Amino acid sequence: MAFALTQEREQQVQEILTRYPDSRAALLPVLWLCQKQHGWISPEVITFVAERLNLSTATIKGVVTFYTMFFEEPVAPNVVWVCRTLSCDLRGAKCIQEHLERRFRCRPGETSEDGKFTLLKAECLAACGQAPMVQINERYFENLDTATLDKIIDEHANNTPRSAHEG
């Protein structure tokens, strides 16, 4: 089915386009808006953005595959990124990762059995001084231990796709 933005988001696109010298420069924020609405960048979203910004689908795909913030597959309402780079690794990221794998019963790159969480690994998320940390949707949670993380996960369990990504 063809993708289209809501009227409100279409107005946001028009406002975005006034801030950039050309439509190509507006590609990242427009893709971000589309992902907020749709949850991921589907082939239909790529076709929509290509037509809306008068760019090739190859250009859109190149950007989507380059930036990890864009999802090329459907994801759960909550996307949990576990930082695995040095500072977090030294401060227990592996323990955090394994704890989440057990809790979600899934491996990195997969979605939990209940469909509520997608688990991903991340390279340094620039919060090294507060390691170990995870990013859930658009928020950082730092200085974690497994008990604190469990509470945070519990608080996210009832998120819907809309409530998780509208913040």
Residues that bind ligand FES (CB under 6 A): 83, 85-88, 124-128, 131, 133
Please state the closest distance from residue 155 (CB atom) to ligand FES, in A: 21
Angle between helices 27-38 and 7-19 (to 10 degrees): 160
CA distance 136 to 141: 8
Q: What is the DSSP string of 28-61?
A: HHHHHHHHHHHSS--HHHHHHHHHHHT--HHHHH
Comparing CB distances to ligand FES, the nearer of 133 and 153 is 133
Comparing CB distances to ligand FES, the nearer of 60 and 79 is 79
CA distance 83 to 122: 5
Comparing CB distances to ligand FES, the nearer of 77 and 132 is 132
Comparing CB distances to ligand FES, the nearer of 25 and 86 is 86
Structure tokens at 36: 């907020």
Structure tokens at 91: 């401060």
Comparing CB distances to ligand FES, the nearer of 47 and 85 is 85
Please state the closest distance from residue 93 (CB atom) to ligand FES, in A: 7
Please state the closest distance from residue 126 (CB atom) to ligand FES, in A: 6
- Sign of the CA dihedral with 88 first, then 90, 96, and 101 last: positive
Please state the closest distance from residue 30 (CB atom) to ligand FES, in A: 28
- Burial class of residue 80 (count of CB atoms within 10 Å of its CB; 0-12, 13-18, 19+): buried
